[in-house]
Amino acid sequence: MSASTPAFIPFTRPSFNQETIDAVAEVLRSGWVTSGPKLAEFEATLSQYFGGRPVRCFANGTATMKIALQVAGIGEGDEVITTPISWVATSNVILGVGAKPVFVDVDPVTRNIDLNKIAAAITSKTRAIMPVYLAGLPVNMDQLYALAKEHHLRVIEDAAQAFGSQWNGKKIGSFGDLVSFSFQANKNLSTIEGGCLVLNNVEETALAEKLRLQGLTRQGMDGMDVDVLGGKDNLTDVNAVIGLEQLKQLPTYQARRAALARQYFDVMRSELQSSGLDTLDLELPVENFTETNWHMFQVILPLTQLTVDRAQVMTELKELGIGTGVHYPTITGFTLYKNLGYKTADTPHAERIGRSILTLPLFPAMADEDIGRIVKGLVGILKKYRKN
C-alpha cells in the first residue's frame, strides 16, 4: 500500500482488546477449553443482564433459533410466520424442524415485518411468530405480544442483531417469550461464533440444555441417559470468556456506534444537498436513538433513478477502499425457496428492499473521518450515474 492509498474500510470489524486476549490465553492455559466454568459464568452474567431470566448459550445463533422452535414444540405440519428480509437461517430452521415458513411483507420504513399484515396470514396451523429486528431495530413489542396473545401464539424473537436494543426502556430479552441472540463475529457483542437463548422457566431451560448436547440427561456420577434427540450445539469456554470481556466493553461500543450513526445522518444530508442530489429517493434508516443498537447502517439505493445496479455501486465503492454488504436479499428469491413455491412478488416491499439495500461500514473502531470518506464516495457515485 502506497503512502497515498487510504486504508480499506471494511463494512464491519470486531473489536478485541488486550484484556480479552489475555483472558483467552488464561483459558487455554487452564486446559479446560470446552464447556465449563467460564460458560457457566457467562450464562449467569447474561441472566443478570436480562433481569434474572434463564439463559443458555449455544455454538451459534442458528442453533439458538432451532432449539427455541423445539422448546416451543414446533414441528411437522406447523406454520411459523416470519419476514422475508433476514439471513436465510431464520427460515431454514423452520424448515429444519418440519414446519412451514409463512412470509409476511415488511414495513417499507422500518424494513421489519409489518405487524399489521400478520393477522391475515394466521391459519389453523399457525403456531408461532418469528419477528426479526433488522439492524437492531425492534418491532412494536406491545403490538407484537398483543397479537400473539389474541391468537394464542408463541413468539420466538430472532434478535440476532439486537443485543443491547431496547423497548420502552427495557432491554430486548428482558421480557417476552423465547428470545434468540447471535454472537457471531460481526455482532455488537461477539464471541466469534455463538449465541444465547433467553427462556421462560426451569422446564424450558432443562430441555434446551439437553437439546444442545445430544439429549443427554445426567443422573449422578455413575450413570446417564438420553431421552430426547439432541445435537452438538454447546458453546466453549474460549468463546464464553470472550463474551464476558465483550460485555464489559458493550456500553462503550454502543455509544460509539450511536455517535457514528449520527454522523452518517448529518454528513449524508449535507452531502446530498451540496451535490444537488437531495431530490434522489435515497432512503436512510429510521433515525432512532432510543431503541436500536445501531448494529448496521443501511440505505436503500434509488435504483430507478440510476443507470447502474447495486453491484456496480458496490464495485466502485470497493475501488475507493470502502467495503459494503447486502443484508439481505429476499429469502423467497433463493432457489431453495422458489422450488418450494414461494414468490418474491407476494411480498413486494421486501422484493424492492432486497434488491436495493446496501450496508455501509459501521463498527466501533472506525474513525470520525471515515464517515465523510464513505458518504462522499457514495454520493459521488450516485451523482455520476443519476438519470437526467
pLDDT of residue 4: 64
| Interatomic CA distance for residues 297 and 135, integer angstroms | 7
Q: If one looks up domain 18-244 in CATH, what number appears?
A: 3.40.640.10
My answer on whether omega of the bond before 328 falls inside 30° of 0, hence cis, is yes
Which are the contacts of 62, defined by CB distance < 8 A and separation ≥ 6? 89, 92, 93, 195
- Kindly tell me if the per-residue pLDDT of 319 is higher than 80: yes
| Interatomic CA distance for residues 260 and 368, integer angstroms | 7
Which are the contacts of 369, defined by CB distance < 8 A and separation ≥ 6? none
pLDDT of residue 218: 75
| Interatomic CA distance for residues 179 and 160, integer angstroms | 9
- Kindly tell me if the per-residue pLDDT of 1 is higher than 70: no
- Kindly tell me if the per-residue pLDDT of 329 is higher than 90: yes
pLDDT of residue 210: 96
pLDDT of residue 3: 54
| Set of cell numbers at residue 376 | 462522499
pLDDT of residue 115: 98
DSSP helix/strand/coil, 122: coil
Based on the residue annotation, tell me whether 170 is a catalytic residue of this protein: no
| Interatomic CA distance for residues 179 and 174, integer angstroms | 9
Q: 96-114: per-residue pLDDT in tens?
A: 999 999 999 999 999 999 9
pLDDT of residue 331: 98
Angle at 185 between CA 179 and CA 186, to 5 degrees: 80
- Kindly tell me if the per-residue pLDDT of 344 is higher than 90: yes
Domain boundaries, the chain: 18-244, 250-384
pLDDT of residue 320: 98
Q: 43-78: per-residue pLDDT in tens?
A: 999 999 999 999 999 999 999 999 999 999 999 999
DSSP helix/strand/coil, 28: helix
Residue with cell 407476494: 346
Q: 76-97: per-residue pLDDT in tens?
A: 999 999 999 999 999 999 999 9
What secondary structure, in 3-state letters, does 130-156 show? Answer: ECECHHHCCCCHHHHHHHHHHHCCEEE
Which are the contacts of 68, defined by CB distance < 8 A and separation ≥ 6? 156, 178, 180, 197
Q: Which of 125, 187, 318, 383 is catalytic?
A: 187
128 by Cβ neighbours in 10 Å (0-12 / 13-18 / 19+) ranks as buried
| Interatomic CA distance for residues 117 and 109, integer angstroms | 15
Least confident of 6-10, 214-218, 296-300, 339-343: 214-218
Residue with cell 487452564: 30
Let me know: does 72 contact 127? Beta carbons within 8 Å. Answer: yes
pLDDT of residue 380: 98
Arithmetic mean of pLDDT, 17-33: 96
Please provide the average confidence, as pLDDT, over all residues in the chain. 96
| Interatomic CA distance for residues 108 and 367, integer angstroms | 31
The CATH classification of domain 250-384, taken from the options 3.30.930.10, 3.40.50.2300, 1.10.490.10, 3.90.1150.10: 3.90.1150.10
| DSSP assigned state of 127 | E
- The identity of residue 111, as a single letter, is R
Please give the model's pTM, rounded to 2 decimal places.
Answer: 0.96
- Kindly tell me if the per-residue pLDDT of 220 is higher than 80: no
| Interatomic CA distance for residues 171 and 370, integer angstroms | 30
| Interatomic CA distance for residues 49 and 13, integer angstroms | 24
Q: 253-300: per-residue pLDDT in tens?
A: 999 999 999 999 999 999 999 999 999 999 999 999 999 999 999 999
- Kindly tell me if the per-residue pLDDT of 219 is higher than 80: no
Arithmetic mean of pLDDT, 358-365: 98
Arithmetic mean of pLDDT, 132-145: 98
pLDDT of residue 5: 72
Q: Give the DSSP H or E segment for 158.
A: strand 154-158
| Interatomic CA distance for residues 360 and 350, integer angstroms | 19
What secondary structure, in 3-state letters, does 29-82 show? Answer: HHCCCCCCHHHHHHHHHHHHHCCCCCEEEECCHHHHHHHHHHHCCCCCCCEEEE
Task: Annotate 163-208 with DSSP letters as a single string.
Answer: TT-EETTEETTSSSSEEEEE-BTTSSS--BS-EEEE-SSHHHHHHH
User: 122 falls in which pLDDT band (50, 70, 90)?
Assistant: very high
pLDDT of residue 25: 98
pLDDT of residue 213: 94
Residue with cell 457471531: 184
Question: Cα 368 to chain center, whole Å?
Answer: 25
User: 178 falls in which pLDDT band (50, 70, 90)?
Assistant: very high
User: 388 falls in which pLDDT band (50, 70, 90)?
Assistant: confident
Which are the contacts of 301, defined by CB distance < 8 A and separation ≥ 6? 282, 310, 313, 356, 357, 358, 382
